[in-house]
Structure 1
């Protein structure tokens, strides 16, 4: 693909495709924009779970079995913390601690989250741009019948058990796209935007909630394609299908397409969901049927190549012509 590509990315599922994209596209040709709605302060440390998942995946340091954290991690710190009666509901590995400590130190010294992320990813040997969606604080809040929960309390502390009635993004109205994100959106050679197979409600919506992002994407002439995180009515990873049902939406690739409200030009769906292609076309979405479940590196490389080729083939609508609800 000639020109620049933006990837919008959450954690585990998104990081897998991002890994493939970095093997298919040169560093100067890709900007990976990561959700920071999951960020929170824990034990006095600024934790950026999705940024770290992407960084560890791209540097090939991630624990492949868990899908998050570092391979070969140890937990002496957590064991000691539990013994002392400290907060132990959110695990921080011994090696992983260094990332949070250094991020917190740099932020306290006045660096932006963009600057800190660039420094840390470079230190891990990552050549491609990994950037936060915003340098301002945007926090995903899960609304339940029993009240509101910060995302990590819902996701980790409560293991996604509460029934979700809504989602909001605290602070989004005051946020701005990070400088590198804004610059990528403004590039004259922007060739495509790829929405990774991340939870639409919890990983991609926080990015779209930053003022100017949705309108900026809608005005692009470059194609926007997404990879569905729902296969056969189930989420590959995480609570997406459960959350959709609780919000009155039947999980499926068509529901993913409808959720993005006319922002997309195409949607990559798994072979399992081939029958959904006609419904997607009725939504003015071009489907690509592929093997979208990424079990190994070859799957990541193949899906990245196929998604890039799909974006290249799509006809470019006139700028500003997308139907965005």
Structure 2
């Protein structure tokens, strides 16, 4: 099996500088626990000490492990069992960022990760699970949204959105569906479910799952998902509470596949802010919001994103307002 590798491969792997790569390959051939052939044939995969999974299948009376065939099974040892295979099987050696770049359908995601400063995490040693929106998913956002998020002044907002698509650890699709939810690096949880036979992450459809990388796994989704707002410390300010509640409820509706419902919640919140008056609204916010509400786009997705952008901006201004600005409204 080793002799089948390209000439010089074994010698290269045995060099001290290639020890991590050699270890990754060898641990990809080892599974924790004792699996006799009678158990192996009942499994479709096993998780290796490398962290990645090997695929198992039986065809024409033979057991196949990834691209290799079991030549001899059940060689018993005092601390386990050995199955002899006819090929060296290789784990994915590309990290998450490299895997996304190679796929060619995540150009916007990669550009966004660079702008948000998240590339080190995607190329690091800590395993991560990425729910990756395709370029088409980003293209579904209202015109100008991606360009706006890529601006340096919006780095924090962009990072929060991207982190809402990332979970710590290597989580495969069957594990995610069993768990039903997962905490993201952004701090909030995403919901994983099956609706009408389609696997979903919040309101986004899973298009392809379990794409292996050396430091994690990628699941492809068809939409960008929105994180709810972080709860503020300004619990005494009714305006902050109103906006937090609206953003949370609206994001849940959007992620559940209802941009219309999301837009409706956001619009009601902003109209309520206008009605509350200047005591709650910093600067010329009232005039700007009134103008924006009078010129909303017709498309539900575009409307939801336009309203959310205004809500986020207003919420940030209220949070940054000097203490006492809202005292007349308490």
Q: Which has the higher contact order (CA 8 A, sep 6+)?
A: 1
Q: Which has the larger radius of gyration?
A: 2
Q: TM-score, normalised by structure 1?
A: 0.25
Q: TM-score, normalised by structure 2?
A: 0.24
